[in-house]
Structure 1
Amino acid sequence: MSTDENPELADRRRALLRATVAAELRAEVARADLTQDEVAARVGMHRATVNRLLNGSRSIDAEQLIAFALGLGFDAGEMVDTAKRKYLEQLARLDVET
């Protein structure tokens, strides 16, 4: 993103990134076949925090991502790579539309 980028477009891109990461996180939770309460217990977070991270209303930080990876047994690097690839694909479509 350039420094002179349209603020509305920048907001849309951040929201898209947050949604993409949240979708990958939900996929990991689904693979683990756990409830949000079980996830919260495994990752050491409040259920409300887990809910906000999974629905994309809150961005996940590195510490939280690692807690999820350790608690659910997935590779955080692979999840980030997958999320990045999907984000860039969606971003390309978004840029074509604008």
Structure 2
Amino acid sequence: MASYAARFNAAVAAELRGERGAQQITVEALAEKAGMVKGTLLRYLNGKRDIPVPALAEICQALGVDPGDVLDKASARVAAQQV
């Protein structure tokens, strides 16, 4: 089983993907709004790379969501997986 950190990172990525989908914003547009390279954003969103706190803050700001809400939802997602 993956470490808690890996599962949590994957859950954060899933929350961000869900929010991006709900807002129907393209990866290109989100990357531009967040001020990052598309490839880097994709690695974050696909769980291929750990999301540093500054990057999480930029992505959340670009999506107009509270980082704390994203982390809370990710934590609940990880907890639900352990049941």
Q: Which structure 2 residue ranges, 5 or more long, are not aligned?
A: none
TM-score in terms of structure 2 length: 0.90
User: How is 1:23-34 mapped onto 2 (pairs within 5 angstroms)?
Assistant: 23-34=14-25
Structure 1 or 2, whichever has the larger Rg, is 1
Structure number with the bigger relative contact order (C-alpha 8 A, sep ≥ 6) is 2
Answering whether residue 43 of structure 2 is matched by residue 18 of structure 1, we say no
User: How is 1:20-59 mapped onto 2 (pairs within 5 angstroms)?
Assistant: 20-59=11-50
Q: Which amino acid aligns with 1:73?
A: G
Question: What is the Cα deviation at residue 37 of structure 1?
Answer: 0.6
Answering whether residue 60 of structure 2 is matched by residue 69 of structure 1, we say yes
Q: Which amino acid aligns with 2:45?
A: L
Q: Which structure 1 residue ranges, 5 or more long, are not aligned?
A: 1-8, 94-98
3-state DSSP of counterpart to 1:34: coil
Q: Which amino acid aligns with 1:33?
A: Q
Partner in structure 2 of residue 82 of structure 1: 73
Q: How many residues align?
A: 82
Q: Which runs of 4+ in 1 moved over 3 A?
A: none
Tell me the alpha carbon deviations over residues 35-78 of structure 1, each in whole angstroms, 9 at most, x when there is no partner.
Answer: 11101100000000010001000111110111011111111111
Identity of aligned residues (%): 34
